[in-house]
A and B are shown apart, each in its own frame.
Chain A
Amino acid sequence: MNLPAPDQRQALAALLQNILSAVEDLLLTGLAAATEKTQQTLAVSFQAASRHQLLRLGSTLRVAIEELGRFTRNDPAFSRRRFSFFLNRAWMLASGMTKALEQNDANRWNRLTWRAGGRTIESVDVVTLGVMKRVVPNAFAAFEFRLRTLGDAGTLKDGTSLVWSNVFPLKAGTDIPAEAYLHLPLPQKFKAAEMLDARVVTLGPVTVTEDSRINLLQDTRLHQHPEPFTDWQRFLHWDKQAALHRLESYTPGPFDLEVELQEEITLFDWELGEAEQTDRGQLTLLPLITDTAVCYCPAGTSDEFSGLRDTLHTLRKKKKKPPLYGVLHYEMCRFMFQPLTLYGAAGPQPLMLAREKFSQAALVKALNFT
């Protein structure tokens, strides 16, 4: 992406200025006194940013606006941290993009509006190692599948780590577990749940972005292999040398999200320490202690994490604990670890997906958005 065409620059400069003014007004008055005009400016700016394909700015504004909405509705899910972080990020992006336009600085513009490009892979065999779930009630349920390739596929080498995201809008007032949405047929004529059967699946054609995200195309199809996959051990480790190498070649910047520098790791011979409350009681951290490290597991205080908390507490009493696979990131000088799957004798056991039954009829009803 180069600098915008001259005939678009004036409109973009005005849009960015509106965002800066709205954010600054909000900061001066506070959320309780936020005017309707300020809220409207942010909402309109989000739409305009998306129209101009400024997706990074648009998605940042979207999260800030969602949090503002939660505050206005007295929603207990409102997070000061999330609001403050995304508002700051929106301001920083708008401010940097304004300077890039003023100074004709194409490099800066490109850095701030960067989107990962993708390449097409005709067909790839993958297994799912774990799934991360995030639910925002009345808004969306997001699932992030952590995949590994089996065998080379195009430019992808055997054992490459890939991420596939699946987001479902949630209708207000429905009472269906988020996991039920994984059983809905996708436009590609398969269900996301078919990726959870501990079997190899062949996907293709797909695009794979530079940051290893897999995107489905309209004609992507899934073929599930009949035999169960059992060779999980080859993927279960914590490659500290590779993690160190990635850290050494990383240059921190103010736009970075902590989770952008993630490692997929497995903990062996771990013990569960005493829970810590943090982020003003909104977050429970469970220390997972190994002989060389302490990793802190964010286990929320909400129902969303209850299954994870219960499983870890049940395992506390066991002498020999099964390997724990998940994703690790670095935050406030700590290892933060989100466990996704237990690899016991019976094979993978997802930790973030509830096993409760749901009614197909209720799911169909929930899909009726009109």
Chain B
Amino acid sequence: MEQELEQIVHCLQQLQAEFEDLAVGGLRNLGPEHLPLLHSLCEQLDAIGARHTGSRLQTLATAIERDDKNAASALMQAQAGLRLFERILTTETMKKNLRRMIDLERTNS
């Protein structure tokens, strides 16, 4: 479970870094060369059950492929989706951790 969570967090960090690169470098400049990685991250997101974020990423990839100016709003929506997913995953994980710590302290006292 721990290892699975680490893989998910790694995927989210990779995607966040990817969005940062695209925002700084520009979608028209960097977008096309980043497409293979975006497609691969789409598959990873689907595999971990983050289908909503994955589908927003797919919309971004399609807009980049078509050199569509809507790629900018697609990037913003994909980034917001990633952020929300991270917040939900983090709060759920931390709730579990805090419950485990409370139980451990009760056992030890």
State the A residues within 8 Å of B (CB).
23-25, 27-33, 71, 80-81, 83-84, 87-88, 91-92, 95, 240-241, 243-244, 247-248, 250, 252-254, 256, 261, 280, 292-293, 330-335
Contacts and interface: CB of A to CB of B under 8 A. Distances in A.
B91 A252 contact: yes
A30 B27 CA distance: 7
B84 A244 contact: no
A88 B76 contact: yes
A248 B106 CA distance: 20
A30 B30 contact: yes
A330 B94 contact: yes
B104 A244 contact: no
Interface of B: 5, 9, 12-13, 16-17, 19-30, 69, 71-73, 75-76, 79-81, 83-84, 86-91, 93-95, 97-102, 104-105
Nearest to B84: A254
A240 B94 CA distance: 11
Contact of B93 (A92, A293, A333): A333
B87 A84 contact: no
A84 B19 contact: yes
Contacts of B79: 84, 88
Contact of B29 (A30, A71, A332): A30
B80 A29 contact: no
Given A24-B73, A254-B83, A330-B90, A244 B27 contact: no
23 contacts: A23-B76, A28-B69, A28-B72, A29-B26, A29-B28, A30-B25, A30-B30, A32-B25, A80-B23, A83-B20, A84-B20, A84-B24, A88-B79, A91-B73, A92-B76, A247-B94, A248-B95, A250-B91, A252-B88, A254-B84, A292-B100, A293-B97, A332-B90
B23 A84 contact: yes
Contact of B80 (A25, A83, A254, A333): A254
A244 B94 CA distance: 8
A284 to B, nearest CB: 16
B5 A88 contact: no
Contacts, number: 119
| Chain B contact residues: helix, strand, loop or mixed | helix
A80 B24 CA distance: 7
Given A27-B23, A29-B26, A253 B76 contact: no
A241 B24 contact: no
B22 to A, nearest CB: 8
B90 A333 contact: yes
Contacts of A261: 91
A46 B69 CA distance: 24
A88 B98 contact: no
Given A88-B76, A91-B76, A247 B91 contact: yes
Q: Which of A23, A241, A247, A253 has the most CB of B within 10 A?
A: A247
Contacts of A33: 26, 29
Given A27-B75, A28-B72, A80-B24, A335 B102 contact: no
B24 A71 contact: yes
A335 B105 CA distance: 18
A333 B26 contact: no
Nearest to A261: B91
Given A80-B21, A292-B100, 7 more contacts: A27-B26, A28-B26, A84-B79, A240-B105, A261-B91, A330-B94, A332-B13
Nearest to B19: A84
A91 B75 CA distance: 11
A248 B73 CA distance: 32
B98 A240 contact: yes
* Closest 4 pairs between A and B when the two form their complex, measured CB to CB: A30-B26, A252-B87, A24-B72, A27-B72
A240 to B, nearest CB: 5
Contact of A256 (B17, B72, B87, B100): B87
